[in-house]
Amino acid sequence: MNVIKNLTNSEKAIFVGLLIVAATVLAAMGKMTIDAWIDYTKFMAATYVAGKTIQGTASVIKNGQKDSSDLKKEVSASDAAADRAVLEKFPVKKKDS
């Protein structure tokens, strides 16, 4: 859920999303071929990722990089929380042996 919330707070993500929706409408109306739609959405996704990467790199250069052990702790904590959330929604059934 955090990912969706982060995307809705990002002007770049909203703009890219609106452009992809517009392209989808054009494809549905027959004004754009499916191949062109695929190429367009790939291009927009790659542009968004490249922009976020450049922005993140600039932030690291400006503010200094965190210690890698701190980053590992943050990732591990968020991964654990995500795993718990998934297991709560989709409990694993054990096979009878």
| 14 in any annotated domain | yes
Residue 73 pLDDT exceeds 60: no
Q: Over the stretch 35-58, which tens digit does the pLDDT of each residue have?
A: 999 999 899 888 888 888 888 888
At 57, list the tokens: 């790199």
State residue 52's pLDDT score. Answer: 82
67 backbone φψ class: left, alpha, beta (φ>0; ψ -120 to 50): beta
| 83 in any annotated domain | no
Contacts of 14 (CB under 8 A, 6+ apart): 7, 8
Q: What is the mean pLDDT of the chain?
A: 76
| 23 in any annotated domain | yes
For the chain, the domain total comes to 1
Q: Which domain holds residue 60?
A: 2-65
Cα(33)–Cα(23) distance, rounded to whole angstroms? 10
At 79, list the tokens: 């991964």
| 96 in any annotated domain | no
Residue 31 pLDDT exceeds 80: yes
| 44 in any annotated domain | yes
At 93, list the tokens: 């059934």
